[in-house]
Structure 1
Amino acid sequence: MIAKRSLSNLPDEKLAPLGLAEPEATLTIQRAGKPDRVFDVGGEAFGTRDRYLREKDTGTIYLVKEDLIRPLKHGTTRLPDRELIGVEMKELAKVTVKDATGAERSFEHRNRVDEKAAYWGAVGEEGSLEPAKTWVEALLKLKSTSFVAAEDTPTTTTVMATVVTEDAKGQKVTLELIKGTDADGKEAWYAKSTHTRLLVKMSSAQTGDLVADIPTVMGAKAQ
């Protein structure tokens, strides 16, 4: 994020004209391995639609383009990342599936670096499991349709399956596939993962089919 200009050492009595005496929002930027940077979001600059930001730690004020701020105002519904897990098949090392009863089974991606020789098998068992491969492929194709806005919060939810994925670096993502009732009283599917962080809406057909196939994967025999 690049500022058009910055101001420092501005006295508190001059914050009000910039909309920073009572800021309308807060912007937090998380950085890997570094402290968060937190900004107060102020008003628009006179004659433009640019916005004032004030860094909480330093008090420095920045003028940034409105185009940088506008998408964040509606980030829960407009941000483009529809991924539930955020990992490609070749990077995936292990998947653990738990159904609504608590029964679970783990599968590992063997020879994953060699696409032609790669296959999926149950942890602790020999042989390949084609149903596991097919199910994981369908899992990775699953995408959210949007985040759930406050006014669309479901009235009931039941976790129908929990999936824990682990990539080659040991990074894990936990995903819940959730069946519920939407704000209009209709049956709907949702998901929430450590990648999405928030509850997201799902395609009922695709998500329902994936969950319905879990018993097949759980009971599959190695070839």
Structure 2
Amino acid sequence: MYEFTIIVPVYNEEDNLERVEKELLAYTKIASKKTAILFVNDGSKDNSQSLIETICARNEAFHYISFKENHGLSAAIKAGFDHVESPLVGYIDSDLQTAPEDFNLLLQHIGEYDLVTGVRANRKDSFVKNMSSKIANGIRRAFTHDGMDDTGCPLKVIKTDYAKRIPMFKGLHRFLPAMILLQNGRILQVPVQHFPRIAGTAKFGLWNRLLGPLMDCFAYLWMKKKYINYEVKDKG
């Protein structure tokens, strides 16, 4: 029924969810593909789940899954990948620092590529956050050679059959382009808008934005060495 599903990971975002509903509902009316929305509630301890259920009850294209407890962003994205049935899948953060309408920019290229990711142009974050992200991206590129400038950008579109084959672990949401390359897929980055957070609190600090990803790079190298990728030549 749907061509594209947008995963929205949620952790304690009750102050943002009505705005998320409004903007994503508006996007579904202008989307270049017939679009569904999938909330993944990552064990929120505030009123997020109640709001999600209300939103989904009044919008046919909105659905949700809810974790028993908090497992982190990578787990929420992985659960979304596991549950979607549309041929294309994407995700956006519930803080809406990126614009849903920019999905149309990414979808323009997804026919030729297997993952298209946004690059946050003119970022509206603090100096410390911008610099730590820039350093972390530089380190990651040195390990993965994926050529991507901003893998932390929470705006991506992936062909679902590629997304479902990604062996996700904690922290590997930053390595999605590299994981597509391991499948011999093609990747592209496209500039997108960025806005300051206007509600809720950031879930990542200096440790999990800089030092954590450095450790994850070594996990990626191990995975790359052990990764199984095959093509079936014939069957009968």
Q: Which of the five TM-score ranges fits, normalised by the shorter chain?
A: under 0.3
Q: TM-score, normalized by length of structure 1? A: 0.25
Q: TM-score, normalized by length of structure 2? A: 0.24
Structure having the higher strand fraction is: 1
Structure having the higher helix fraction is: 2
Q: Which has the larger radius of gyration?
A: 1
The higher relative CO (CA closer than 8 Å, separation ≥ 6) is in 2
